[in-house]
Amino acid sequence: MTLIKSISGIRGTIGGNPGDNLTPIDAVKFAAAYGIWLKDYSKKGKLKVVIGRDARLSGEMIQNLVVSTLVGLGIDVIDLDLSTTPTVEIAVPLEKADGGIILTASHNPKQWNALKLLNEKGEFLNAEQGAKILEIAEKEDFAFSEVDDLGSITRNDSYIDIHIDEVLDLSLVDADTIRKAKFKVVVDGVNSTGGIAIPKLLQELGVEVVKLYCDPTGHFPHNPEPLKEHLGDICKLVVEEKADFGIVVDPDVDRLAFIDNKGEMFGEEYTLVACADYVLGKTKGNTVSNLSSSRALRDITEKHGGTYEASAVGEVNVVTKMKANKAIIGGEGNGGIIYPESHYGRDSLVGTALFLMLMAEKGGTVADLRASYPSYFMSKKKIQLTPGLDVDAILKAMAEKYKDEELSTIDGVKIDFPENWVHLRKSNTEPIIRIYTEAKSQQEADGLADRIIGEIKEVAGL
């Protein structure tokens, strides 16, 4: 199935049959469901929604369909055209809009696209709201506006610049400090909108930029997920250019990865660790990441005298816990930085600026910085189960087996051992249990995962 309907929006592959793929009919249906939900939710006469998209090939088509559907519902649209996920998120409250839609399939390959839905704060909808929109779409319970009541379209392509200004105005970002460091940085924008936003930000900060795949054509030159196996070109170019480091973002610019001066991965998990290290060094406070993120954030937070807490996986869950715990920085281990002084959304522009400040003040190389942090290694495996097996009962049995350890059951089962941890999560779409582990060596992380897989098989009678 290549049309995935979830509480956080709808995503799928372009082409094919309605209901099976993300066709024009599906795009219109879900845009209409969001518009109908928003009318009921906001209880206002005239609504305004911000729309922006990444550079993927289907973006303009999907954008035209979504914009026209909202206009047909009598909703005014602020069209940012090519943009980034965090840019749309900050635009919603700045425009005093009632919601927002980002047209992006994030790190998925070019044949995918998606509608990501925002509330009036520019934050992702919660599970209850998402479920309501799915219900409206299923029933096709739409009533469109008459001709005198149609919405209007206002185009505004200045928001990436506004976003950059917002980053430069953050209290812990000092452009002069960064300029004095005279950094040289290679940027891989995966031929999407990060290729516009990140070089512009760096130039404003006096950084010498070497561009790689920064032309927003939507023809991704490699798999757009910023993982080591996809990033050979930038790793090589950082060394050839004698650059201080490299920056990689995904197509919608909410995930951020660094390449050190030796052309090695800094590690996506360590993007948040480094940014938190800088922020906590300036401001006392707490942090949050999800249960599958590195323990290194906890170590750094406690070193600075703060408290670390883990949320269920998913950005909306991280944000909810951050608000509850008054966390001053948080995010996800996939390179997503959430810095509330800016906004409650993962933002690679904010992360880049904080990282540059850390490097400018600390001096030394990015490789030295990475070596200074606690070193952890992760293993990510899965176990395929026979259909019909009760996955919840298996997870419950594993929780019971390890009840004397530090245990969390808010999202699957997370077992924190003194030297390592394991997180077991079930898939919502297939009979699979995902097994994430982290330890002080790769061998230990893989060994722990294999041991737990053996125990699950025993419990399941496989």
Listing DSSP states for 297-364 in one string gives HHHHHHHTT--EEEE-SSHHHHHHHHHHHTEEEEEETTTEEEBTTTBSS--HHHHHHHHHHHHHHH-S
Nearest-angstrom CA–CA distance, 264 and 29: 45
Helices (H), 77-174: 85-94, 127-139, 159-168
CATH number of the domain residue 444 falls in: 3.30.310.50
Q: Which residues have C-beta within 8 Å of that of residue 348, sequence separation ≥ 6?
A: 84, 86, 194, 197, 198, 249, 253, 254, 255, 256, 335, 337
Q: Are residues 350 and 399 in the same domain?
A: no
Q: DSSP secondary structure string, 75-98? A: -EEEEEEE--HHHHHHHHHHTT-S
Domain boundary among 156, 186, 219: 156
- Are 121 and 209 part of one and the same domain? no
346 and 199 together in one domain: yes
CA distance 100 to 341: 20
Number of domains, the chain: 3
Which residue bears the tokens 């249960």? 291
CA distances from 363 to 170, 327, 355 (A): 21, 27, 12
Q: Which residues lie across from 247 on neighbouring strands? A: 187, 258
pLDDT in tens, the chain (462 residues): 578 887 778 999 999 999 999 999 999 999 999 999 999 999 888 999 999 999 999 999 999 999 999 999 999 999 999 999 999 999 999 999 999 999 999 999 999 999 999 999 999 999 999 999 999 999 998 999 999 999 999 999 999 999 999 999 999 999 999 999 999 999 999 999 999 999 999 999 999 999 999 999 999 999 999 888 999 999 999 999 999 999 999 999 999 999 999 999 999 999 999 999 999 999 999 999 999 999 999 999 999 999 999 999 999 999 999 999 999 999 998 899 999 999 999 999 999 999 999 999 999 999 999 999 999 999 999 998 887 888 899 999 999 999 999 999 999 999 999 999 999 998 776 778 999 999 999 999 999 999 999 999 999 887
For the sheet containing 421-426, what is the strand order?
377-384, 432-439, 421-426, 413-416, 406-408
Q: Are residues 265 and 308 in the same domain?
A: yes
Of 138, 156, 174, the one marking the end of a domain is 156
Asked whether residue 336 falls in the same domain as residue 428, the answer is no
Same domain, 136 and 184: no
CA–CA distance, 319 with 9 (Å, rounded to integer): 17
Pair 262, 364 in one domain:
yes
Residues 254 and 121 in one domain: no
Q: Specify the pairing of strand 377-384 against strand 336-338.
A: unpaired
Both 176 and 145 in a single domain? Answer: no
Cα–Cα distance between 83 and 91 in angstroms, integer?
10
Cα 253 from Cα 189, distance rounded (Å): 9
Last residue of a domain, one of 135, 156, 177: 156
Burial 74-89 (b: 16+ CB within 10 A, else e): bbbbbbbebbbbbbbb
Cβ atoms < 10 Å from Cβ of 242: 8
Gap between the Cα atoms of 325 and 286, Å rounded: 7
> Which residue in the list 8, 106, 289, 292 is annotated as catalytic?
106
Same domain, yes or no: 19 and 133? yes
Predicted pLDDT at 429: 64
- What's the pTM value of the predicted model, to 2 decimals? 0.94
Q: Domain containing 89: what range?
A: 3-156
Q: Closest Cα partner for 167 from 348, 393, 342?
A: 342
Whether residue 303 sits in one domain with residue 386:
no
Clarify whether 106 is annotated catalytic.
yes
The burial class, CB within 10 Å (0-12 / 13-18 / 19+), for 17 is exposed
- CATH code of residue 7: 3.40.120.10
In the chain, what are the helix, strand and coil shares in percent, each to the nearest 5?
A: 40, 25, 35
- How distant is the alpha carbon of residue 77 from its chain centre? 24
Tell whether 263 and 207 lie within a shared domain.
yes
